[in-house]
Amino acid sequence: MDHSVSVKEGRYYILRMTNGQIYDLVMKDIGGADVPLSRFKDKALLLVNVASKCGFTPQYSGLQSLYEKYHDKGFEILGFPANDFLWQEPGSDSEIKTFCSTKYNVSFPLFSKISVKGKDIHPLYKLLTEKETNPQFSGKITWNFNKFLVNTKGEIVARFDSKVEPLDAQVIGAVEKAIG
């Protein structure tokens, strides 16, 4: 097992790779608490890089609807704010949390702002985008609101571009299949 630790802006991101599974990561939630992704083991996950000032920001509504529809069936949406595309997520974690809860009534888990591309890419997004750890759905994040679907076994089973709405039939079908 390969163990490595990455430090960014005084925060520790722990990455322990075991078979490429995301469950070995510990993330900071939007409130600053450590959240081991193993907490979401045995659930289907939709991981989304989000931004508050993007043309795709209204997708928060669809994400929330999707979350409400499938959460009780073993589904989670994990939102990862990122300011990597035209500075469309400039706020602090507190500002992002307030925006999401007041404007879109977001109740799915949000995490501390990270980088999803470039030299300071967060280990989670390195795992999601590199061919070695995600051979079927690898590739750079193209914009805000890219979506990765992980099944209940921790396998990445689908990827959706920003333009694919959360309530699109292909997303719903993939989520239902991932839930099992």
Q: Which two tokens stand for residue 121?
A: 């890419």
Q: Cite the active site residues.
A: 54
First to last CA, the chain: 29
Residues 6+ apart with CB under 8 A from 28: 11, 34, 35, 111, 112
Which residue, 77, 30, 106, 82, is CA-closest to 175? 77
The strand pair at 11-17 and 2-8 is best described as: antiparallel
For residue 82, the 8-state DSSP code is B
Strand order in the sheet with 25-28: 2-8, 11-17, 25-28, 34-36
